[in-house]
Amino acid sequence: MGDVIVIAGKGGTGKTTVSAAITLMLAKRKMGSVLAVDADPSSNLSEALGLARISTISDIIDGVAKDPESVPKNMGKDAFIEYKINSDISENDGFDLLVMGRPEGPGCYCYINNILRNCLAKLIANYRFVVIDNEAGMEHFSRKTMRSCDQLLVVSDQTEAGLRSAKRIFSLIVELGISAKRKFLIVNRHDNKERNKDLGRECGVDGVYALPFDEQLLRLSVEGGSISRLDKNSEVISTIEKIGEELWPTS
């Protein structure tokens, strides 16, 4: 069974950047196979990882809807869609990538969510690590796309609004009965270590990590570049590597 790592947080806090950094860190450490899942309809994870646009679950579903005859006679529609998704997973240097995409129409979100949940349930067994970049809101939690995970990492900035949103996410998973073996808060652009102890108690988490302000990363965000372009002196990358050593030790 893979180690399922869910990254959540409100938009603009650096959630996708953290997801990409953790994916690249795990791939670099070569501790086992890695699947990155972009479960956010805005689909920015591939760009953060430095990849060209790839086929999404939404693309596959839309393609079947437009051409029902493409489904083999001896295979149901859902089974064919899952087959196509498994065939189209993007294979990259050290990790694979699965992208949800943006569903079309008001009734599509539930369906694509169910497809994603079913695929993940089967794929998890094939990977040592599964890193899920969750939607900016709390949609996947309320719809129980993931019913359990090994690590829940909630990303916030240091604003009160961001921290309130993070606390709501931690409260919501308890209310919904979603199991997270370990829970962590990651505060972006933050260096108040004393405040971290208070935040840990307030959120009821196993630990709080602070990501420092990184001028390289800010410049890349403005340019729309991949975090893979950050050099080894990047404070964010070195901090993520330290977090990785604590959460997934090599020995």
For the stretch 74-98, pLDDT in tens is 998 888 988 998 888 888 889 999 9
| Residues paired with 91 in a beta bridge | 96
Q: How far apart are the first and last CA of the chain?
A: 19
- Measured CA to CA, the distance from residue 7 to residue 5 in angstroms comes to 7
For residue range 211-249, what is the model confidence (pLDDT) as tens digits?
A: 887 777 777 766 666 787 777 778 888 888 889 999 998
Residue 126 dihedral angles phi and psi, to the nearest 5°? -95, -5
Polymer length in residues for the chain: 251
3-class secondary structure, 167 = helix
Retrieve residue 189's tokens.
């652009």
What pLDDT does 251 receive?
64
* Adjacent-strand bridge partners of 152: 6, 183
Please report the domains of the chain, with CATH numbers, ordered by start residue.
Answer: 3-247 (3.40.50.300)
Question: For residue 147, what pLDDT is reported?
Answer: 74
Q: What is the pLDDT of residue 184?
A: 94
CA-wise closest residue to 146 among 173, 107, 166, 111: 173
CB 154, CB 182: distance < 8 Å: no
Tokens of 32: 């086992």
